[in-house]
Structure 1
Amino acid sequence: MKKFIPSLTVLILLVGLCVGAYFDLKYDYLEEAYRASLFGVILITSIILFIMINRMINHKNKEKIKNLEARLDIWSKISYHVNQVGEEVFNELPVGIILIDDRIEEIQWINPYASIILDGPELNEKIQNVNTELYELIKSKNSKAIVKIKDSKYECIYKKQFNVLYLFDVTEQEKIKEVYQKNLPAVALITFDNLEESVVGLDISEQSQIKSEYLGALSDWVESYSGYLKQLVDDRLLLLITRENLDKMMETKFDILETIRKISMGYQLKVTISMGIASWDISYEEIASYAQNAIELAQKRGGDQVVVNIENEKIHYFGAKTDASTKNSKVSARVNAQTIQELIKSSNTIFIMGHNQTDLDAFGSMLAMFKMAVSLDGESKLNKYLIVDEEKLDQTVHPVYLELLEKEPDLKKNIKTTEETTKMIKKDSLLVILDTQSKEIVNSPEILELTEKIVVIDHHRTSEKAIESMFSYVETSASSTIELLIELVNFFQDEVDITPFESSIMYAGLLVDTNTFTYRTSARTFEVASKLKELGADAIEVKSWLRHDILRTLEINKMTSQMEVFMDKFAIVSSDQIYDDRSFLAQVSESLLNIKGIDAAFTITKLDDITVGISARSYNQVNVQILMEQLGGGGHLNSAATQIKNVDIKTVTEQLKQLIRLEYEEGEIVRVILLEDVKGKGKKDEIIEVANGYGQFLVNGKKAVIANDVSLDALKKAQELAKQKELDYLELMQKIKSEIEGKKVTVGIQIGPDGRLYGTVTTKQIADEFEKEHGVTIDKKKIELSSEINSVGIYSATVSLTKDIKAQFEINVVGAN
């Protein structure tokens, strides 16, 4: 109908024109015959025009129809090809496609390629029965995952809106990524802890022998992992390795730590080793900065450990089997005292705070730092404040705090709450944080971002969540923070006036943190105690503060009566009751530790509705710090704790028991052959006797096999073969030695007018020249020069083929034209 509308429109217009012309002519004065002729001409002209216009419109419509027909013909041809391509994609291209019924989680349709991948699953089969990883992807919130199916890896994309799974073979890509990951660089900084202090009293030759033994052990260990070791200074070294070899080191838990300890035990020295390692896909400069942070963290935590920082992974800790070595040097205390004095003098305002649930060590340290600031006040009118929130004080501190305010009422004007501090503190205010480094347990975490000048003084091991500070004095060998503060007092330029009552509070902090001089005490601890006694500390008064009231005593006795003795020497107390007083948990653990035969005690309770806390105490045989760190906490060798959220008491208790079993379980003794070095147990191929549980752990972890007739026979044959290979190797090295010994090479190099070299003679040049002149290839790393080559002349070189086989030759350095 639409195509006739233009024609009808034209017809109506023409008819209208003719009618109009007729009536116009009717009233004209022309003759009738003439009017009729004229009307006829108009009518005929209109008809002709109508026919012409109609034909033009019809012609245009016909062209349009032809174009539409051509387009339909093209589309029909394209549709055929599109259908062919779609069919090829579904059935022939290497893209797996699976349609899922998301309600009943069954396969509704699968293309041939996916069917081959999944070994021909049937329609309506549960996807969970076909592949659990694909099922987990469907159930998860993710839309992509890499799934291993047989020997191949596939990128799986799940389109939830269409309930379709696509599988793309990415095996080769993943292999390339794996190779790339394995060869990522790892930078390690290594230090010998307490080396110079330990050997300072020995004669030079003995010092040299001991240092050589330490370096030799470290060098052999590095060589087994194909690393590059470079000595920077006497007790500091640089190590370069690949990520793959770093992973192997982590598998053996850095057994070099145990090797160094054994050497130290042989010489009766307190020397250990610490490492900071970083492996990231960034520039070497940035990796080195991360390695530096890691070694600083290892040393702040007391040394004798390795801290590993790997991209996208939590910080890894290894070692720390012994408590931190005490350093008797007064130089460190003097230097730190000077630095702290300068920081205080350069500030107009100083705020001092400890940790949440402030105990006597933290509170006593706060008082000591406040009095140190007072001694530096002079004419500068330094504003100095203690940040104290009464509700955050430990129960043992609260009555002592109130008594202090009674004895020293003027102190009140220098005490501010957290709320008051937030309104007063400025970017250039000095904030001193004592007895903690953790952002999570500091008294007022909200004020950390309000100043750029933060000083931290603490005696706990550092964690990766440490507060960023402009200066920190962390000495993990110290018994308490009070010990560090009183040592600093001795080096302040002006006398620090500490009242007898204040010294009693500090003495109480020392007693609490050492459990009455039981843990972590050293000569310096007793020096500090003596200093506090000189200042008037009242031991009887302190004892009265530390006594338990009758209700607390009854509650401790109630908890102790619920004790479970685990593996004959571990005491565990657990309760679903909420105890928000963390010091109470510590007191229960210490009470349990007083029981004969108990080596470690653990108190597990709720701290609030969603948090479970563990307080751990031990004697030297058990390192509770390692156990608590594995549960997300930390502390010291004999005193540690952790807090775990959103988990029940029973689960936490079972996790703790499992960790204890792995570390300390004893029972039926079994003999196993080690398939690799196991730290603290033995070397590869060594036959050792271990408890049955630990033996099964080694076997299940493919680190050992049970020592039976078959495995022992295989070991014997392997050892014989290895021995023969070693003999063949030594014979080959002797032959190479004969080809090197006594030879001479000439190396030419540019020299200046004074006869000195413009460049340097490298071991690579020497090795290349030796191969060129004598046809023998020498590893440049094994060439040792007897002296520095700094001018023309004849020098001797030694090639270390093995530990005992060495060859010597001469190098004639001449001036080149």
Structure 2
Amino acid sequence: MNRKIAQLFQPRLQLYFVCLIVFALLSALYSVPLAVTELVIVLGLGLYNRENSRRRRREIGKYLDSVTGTVDTATKDTMVNSPLPMIIFRPESDDIIWTNDRFLQLTGQGQREHMFDAKLASLIPGFDTRWLMEGKSECPTEVEYGGRRFWVFGHLVRTGGRGGGFLATTYWVDITEFCLIRDKFNASRPVAAVLLIDNYEDLMKNLTENERSSILAEIDNRLDEWVAQTGGLLRRYQRERYLFLFEEQYLDQFVERKFDVLDTVHQVVNPSGINASLSIGIGKDGDSYKELMSFANLSIDMALSRGGDQAVIRNKFTFEFYGGRSKETEKRTKVKSRVMANALSSLISDSSQVFIMGHKFPDNDAVGAAAGVCALCRKNGTPAHIIRDPGSPPAQELIDRLSTLPEYQDCFLAPQDALLIADTRSLAVVVDTNRPEQVQAEELLQSCNRVAVIDHHRRAATYIEGAALNYHEPYASSASELVTELLQYIMEPNQLLRAEAEALLAGIVLDTKNFTMRTGGRTFEAAAFLRRSGADTAEVKKLFQNDLAGTIAKYSIIQNARLYRDHIAVAVSSAPVNRVVAAQAADELLNIIGIDTSFVLSKDGEQVNISGRSMGETNVQVILEQLGGGGNAAAAGGQVTGKSLEEVAAELAQAIDRYLDS
């Protein structure tokens, strides 16, 4: 290498000597003595240049050797005496090649001169080196060893050409003090919580002042015991609301105990036998107290929209849910329904057109609710369009019935056509879902400036935000029931088309399982209004008839069902089946003695559909939320993409175990 570098400093004179020799030979044609003299001179100059070049190469070589030796010495000295622990190893075999003194001290091997016979995995268990093979120069996680924490940096070099292996060099930076300060800061960050006695009205109903004071005092005592260990601030700021401020280090303890204060407060019973119910909304990771309170209020709203009696944590990105297993109690008032009816009517009147959409693959409840909103639009003289998915959804027969009516000739639109005619004054009304990723046309939802949501499902972590009107009642049986309640305050029974009344009644029948599940007094009032509007129960019954193949498929699913944990039926259908058939099979399984919960899994293209049903004791929504689904406590569903039936069945079993064991 030194010779090559030295040659770069040498002048290239060979061409000149060749020319001189040629001229000397040509001179022989005129004078031989002159030519001989020239050759002697050229030879002398050549010998002198050769000797001079050798001398220059020797001097350059000595200089390069001295510089190289100095660099090598400095490099070796730097590596050996580096203030950072260093280690060189082979990532494919985990063999240690070399370590400096600092690393030997770090690992407690300071008395040894080398560790060539050791494996890195045995020396530092749990240290994953895949990040080096992935081309990264920094370990993605902190490494903890010997009570200290480190950032690890490194790089790979290839040895022996393309066919050779790799050598990895890593540098360990001690960040223990930084981590301690960071952890202390994170542990002391403030957390805001809003505690709400969510059945306060029922709890205090028909009680004397002494009895009310006694119950509130008992609740206060239980809350004081719960917060005592935190040193936090707990204050009641409304008759049924409390504000709780504490440090984040205590939040993990609450989560670990799964907010046992919910059960503690539930043990408080009034003279009428009603148990107290508590909901907790927690805000964390806020940049200010204002943002923390905003997160806490969002959490308490989310808890109430999911039925209450639970704790919800909101951070900057998502929600976390704890509890929520008790059955919802109806808290709707007719005052709220009247206010919502007038507000929705005003929104429709001020809009240029209304786009109505339900969830993907709409069922009778979604289409029935959409038909009810369409009737309201007709009452206000506003054009209305119902978004229609391509293909054949579960409510196809109901859609076909409505499509034959003159009032619905141009009503159904594809999502792409709706986008083309939407303007700044368009209103989007979403029924039977509150999750933006589940609507039939998410692009249309985002393009509309004004949105109204009418839904009865419990809220999930994602929901439609910023809606101009949000009529969300998880205590209602169906979206059709909610829409029917709104219609009662705006329309007379004779103003509703018979087909529309039957569509709404079909939605109620579907979600109440023929008025046997999730029914309240308001449900029968809505059904009575629809009956006065001309709904024929016989025609509604026809909407739920199956063909022979569907009936055989349903009972085939039931035949293959297996018991899990003694009271849960799980049926896995290897053959593709219609969603409606799968849901009916899940309902039918609840008619078997000893079964109070059922799940049906079926393949649908690249995804696996899950239908969950419960008699009320088991909250199937909480179970299926672990698999990305949602719904209500008694009826829920979900879709899992990219996994086989067996894998989804195993994940469902784990979700059931986690729910029951906790």
Give the partner amino acid of 1:455.
Answer: A
* Whole-angstrom CA distance in 2 between matches of 1:440 and 1:635: 14
- 1:156: Cα distance to partner? 1.3
- Separation in structure 2 between the aligned mates of residue 621 and residue 239 of structure 1, nearest angstrom: 31
Partner of 2:357: 353
Inter-partner Cα distance in structure 2 for 1:527 and 1:258: 34
Q: Cα deviation per residue 1:756-789 (whole Å; 9 max; x = unaligned)?
A: xxxxxxxxxxxxxxxxxxxxxxxxxxxxxxxxxx
Instruction: Count the aligned residue pairs.
Output: 595
User: Are residues 1:243 and 2:248 paired?
Assistant: yes
1:582 Cα shift?
2.7
Q: Secondary structure at the match of 2:499?
A: helix
Matches within 5 A, 1:787-806: none
Q: CA deviation at 1:326?
A: 0.1
**Deviation by residue 1:454-502 (Cα, 9 ceiling, x = unmatched):** 1111000111221222321110011111111111122227778212222
1:203 pairs with 2:177: no
Q: What is residue 42 of structure 2 aligned with on the other side?
A: none
CA apart distance, 1:139: 5.0
**What secondary structure does 1:132 align onto?**
coil
- Residue ranges of structure 2 left out of the alignment (5+ in a row): 1-8, 17-55, 158-166
1:400 maps to 2:394: no
Q: Deviations over 1:165-211 (max 9, x none)?
A: 22122222211111111111111122221313542432333223323
- Find the partner of 2:302 among 265, 290, 297: 297
SS of the aligned residue for 1:537 comes to coil
2:647 matched residue in structure 1 = 651
Alignment partner, residue 333 of structure 2: 329
For the residues of structure 2 that align with 1:160 and 1:494, how far apart are their CA atoms? 79
Q: How does 1:530-541 map to 2 (within 5 A)?
A: 530-541=528-539
1:787 counterpart residue number: none
1:481 paired residue number: 479
Counterpart of 1:464 in structure 2 is 461
Q: Deviations over 1:324-356 (max 9, x none)?
A: 220252111112112212212221221111111
Q: Aligned partner of 2:549: which letter?
A: L
Partner amino acid, structure 1, of 2:387:
I
Shift of 1:267: 4.8
Aligned to 2:423: 426
2:152 match: 156
Q: Distance in 1 between matches of 2:218 and 2:91?
A: 66
Q: State whether residues 127 and 134 of structure 1, in contact with CA within 8 Å, keep that contact through their aligned partners in structure 2.
A: no
| One-letter amino acid of the counterpart of residue 342, structure 2 | Q
For residue 558 of structure 2, what is the amino acid of its counterpart? T
Shift in Å at residue 663 of structure 1? Answer: 4.2
After superposing the two structures, state which structure 1 stretch, 187-196 or 595-604, moved more.
187-196
Q: 2:587 aligns with which of 590, 598, 612?
A: 590
Separation in structure 2 between the aligned mates of residue 260 and residue 450 of structure 1, nearest angstrom: 45
Say which of 96, 113, 126 aligns to 1:132. Answer: 126
Q: Which residue number in structure 2 is paired with residue 713 of structure 1? A: none
Distance 1:208 1:518 in 2: 39
Asked whether the equivalents of residues 328 and 524 of structure 1 are also in contact (C-alpha less than 8 Å), the reply is no
Correspondence for 2:509: 511
* Alignment equivalent of 1:108, drawn from 78, 81, 97: 97
Partner of 2:28: none
**1:323–1:636 CA contact under 8 A, matched in 2:** no
Query: In the alignment, which residue of structure 2 is the partner of 1:615?
Result: 611
Structure 1 gaps, min length 5: 9-64, 666-678, 680-817
2:320 to 316, 319, 322: 316
By relative contact order (CA 8 Å, sep 6+), the higher-ranking structure is 2
* Amino acid of the structure 2 residue aligned with 1:360: N
User: Residue 630 in 1 paired to residue 634 in 2?
Assistant: no
Shift of residue 436, structure 1, vs aligned partner: 0.3
Kept in 1, the 8 Å contact 2:599–2:613? The answer is: yes
Q: Deviations over 1:600-629 (max 9, x none)?
A: 1111222322x2222111112222122112
Equivalent residue number for residue 80 of structure 2 = 91
Q: In 2, distance between residues paired with 1:585 and 1:141? A: 48
Deviations 1:376-408 (A, max 9, x none): 22xxxx2222222352631xx2122212222x1
The residue matched to 1:245 in structure 2 has which SS? helix
Post-superposition shift, 1:574?
1.4
RMSD: 3.0
Task: Name the residue aligned to 1:409.
Answer: 406
Q: Provide, for residues 93-142 of structure 1, a one-character-per-residue CA deviation record: whole Å limited to 9, x for no partner.
A: 44221223344443222223223434558426444444332334445565
How big is each residue's C-alpha offset from its partner over 1:255-292, in whole Å with a ceiling of 9 and x where there is no partner?
Answer: 11112222147752264222221111512222222222
Larger radius of gyration: 1
Contact 1:352 1:432 in 2 (8 A): yes
**Compared with structure 1, are the counterparts of its residues 140 and 199 closer, same or farther at alpha carbon in structure 2 (3 Å cutoff)?**
farther
2:602 to 598, 601, 605: 605
Identity of aligned residues (%): 28
SS at match of 1:352: strand
User: Distance between the aligned counterparts of 2:221 and 2:155, measured in 1?
Assistant: 59
- Structure 1 position 630, deviation (Å): 2.2
For residues 180 and 390 of structure 1, do their structure 2 counterparts lie closer, same or farther at Cα, with a shift above 3 Å needed? same
Cα 1:3–1:88, aligned 2, differ >3 Å: closer, same or farther?
closer
In the TM superposition, 1:564-579 aligns within 5 A as: 564-579=562-577
When residues 223 and 361 of structure 1 are mapped into structure 2, their CA distance, relative to the original with a 3 A threshold, is: same
Q: Does 1:123 align with 2:127?
A: no
Task: Describe the SS at the equivalent of 1:604.
Answer: strand
Tell me, in whole angstroms, the C-alpha distance in 1 between the residues paired with 2:660 and 2:12. 100
Query: What do the CA deviations read for 1:493-516 (whole angstroms, capped 9, x no partner)?
Result: 777821222211211110110111
Deviation, 1:362, is: 0.7
Match of 1:24 in 2: none
Query: Following the alignment from structure 2 to structure 1, what is the Cα–Cα distance between the partners of residues 542 and 320?
Result: 43
Code of the aligned partner of 2:548 = I
| 1:141–1:287 CA distance, 2 compared to 1 (3 A) | farther
SS of the residue corresponding to residue 243 of structure 2 reads strand
**Contact residue 364 and residue 398 of structure 2 kept, 8 A:** no
CA distance in 2, matches of 1:127, 1:644: 40
CA distance in structure 2 between the partners assigned to 1:502 and 1:210 by the alignment: 48
- Please tell me whether the aligned partners of residues 456 and 472 of structure 2 are also in contact (alpha carbons under 8 angstroms): yes
- 1:180 maps to 185
Q: Deviations over 1:560-585 (max 9, x none)?
A: 11111122211111134444x43332
Following the alignment from structure 1 to structure 2, what is the Cα–Cα distance between the partners of residues 341 and 492? 8
Instruction: Check the 8 A contact 2:95/2:120 in 1, yes or no.
Output: yes
Judged with a 3 Å threshold, the aligned counterparts in structure 2 of structure 1 residues 620 and 410 are, in CA distance, closer, same or farther, namely closer
Contact 2:493 2:529 in 1 (8 A): no
1:168 equivalent in alignment to 2:173: yes
Structure 1 distance, partners of 2:493, 2:559, is 50
With over 3 angstroms needed to count, the CA separation of the structure-2 counterparts of 1:400 and 1:383, relative to structure 1, is: closer
1:184-195 to 2 correspondences below 5 Å: 184-195=189-200
CA distance in 2, matches of 1:252, 1:548: 48
Task: Find the aligned partners of 1:266 and 1:623 in 2 and give their Cα distance.
Answer: 28
The whole-number CA distance in structure 2 between the counterparts of 1:484 and 1:477 is 10
> Which of 349, 371, 376 does residue 375 from structure 2 map onto?
371
Tell me the distance in 1 between the aligned counterparts of 2:12 and 2:399: 104
Per-residue deviation, 1:322: 1.0
TM-score (norm 2): 0.83
For 1:257 and 1:174, the matched residues in 2 are separated by: 34
Distance 1:526 1:493 in 2: 18
Cα contact 2:320–2:461 (8 A) shared by 1: no
The residue aligned with 2:637 is 641
Which position in structure 1 is the counterpart of 2:258? 253
Report matched runs for 1:641-790 at 5 Å: 641-664=637-660
